[in-house]
Amino acid sequence: MHKSHYITLFISVLFSLLNLAKAQNYDTEIAIHRDTYKANFLKDARSPLIATDFEHLHFYPATKSFKVLAKVKALKKQKSFTMPTFDGTGKKFIRQYALTFQLNNQNYTLIAYKNLDLATNPAYKDYLFIPFTDQSNGKETYAGGRYMDVKAGDIDKKTIWLDFNKAYNPYCAYSDGYRCPIPPAENDLVTIISAGEKNYTGTKKKANN
């Protein structure tokens, strides 16, 4: 075999190994994220779940194609509004950024909102809330939609990573008695997001449980 062929083969194998390592690292990242997600239920005094409920939590396998780089557009001169919640009340938000990304060769936009109540808490003032619906809802995922969180500080050169593998259910998916925001119509994605948390298969709890 010619020397150049050996070099080409070596480079090909090297790239394959690097890609495999990246995939394994990403799988590990998502696994750690999900372990932390479960652990946080046990730390939250308002949590609807206890450790024995975790067997009813389900997630899609980590799929890196559902981690997308979004272009960020700041939304100026926005007025606060009340986002309806599933209990019939509402919470105050303001539209902060429009996040445009490509998925399966189609362009989509999600609005990132700031929770005005949480904004007064130093621990959450950087947080942006992205509630969304998609065509998996009511089938493989919670009928009321799912949520993602990002931090404004993660915006870099007017872009930010959105990772749908970290999409999670509102507390209302597990129990009554919570004020979970209903994703606005402008955040409806006309596609199937087969990533993140799936339907909870345990019995939905009552508010007094």
95 in any annotated domain? yes
180 in any annotated domain? yes
193 in any annotated domain? no
147 in any annotated domain? yes
8 in any annotated domain? no
Longest dimension (CA), the chain: 75
Number of structural domains in the chain:
1
Tell me how far the alpha carbon of residue 127 is from its chain's centroid.
13
Q: Residue 200 and residue 33: Cα distance in Å, rounded?
A: 18
| pLDDT greater than 80 at residue 207 | no
- Of the pLDDT bands very low, low, confident and very high (cuts 50, 70, 90), residue 1 is low
17 in any annotated domain? no
152 in any annotated domain? yes
Q: How many CA atoms lie within 13 A of 123 on its CB side?
A: 0
Burial of 67 (0-12, 13-18, 19+ CB in 10 A): middle
Q: Residue 48 and residue 43: Cα distance in Å, rounded?
A: 11
For 138, the domain range is 59-187
- Of the pLDDT bands very low, low, confident and very high (cuts 50, 70, 90), residue 141 is very high
Q: Residue 70 and residue 101: Cα distance in Å, rounded?
A: 4
pLDDT on residue 23: 56
140 vs 121, more confident: 140
Q: Residue 108 and residue 106: Cα distance in Å, rounded?
A: 7
72 in any annotated domain? yes
pTM score, whole prediction: 0.87
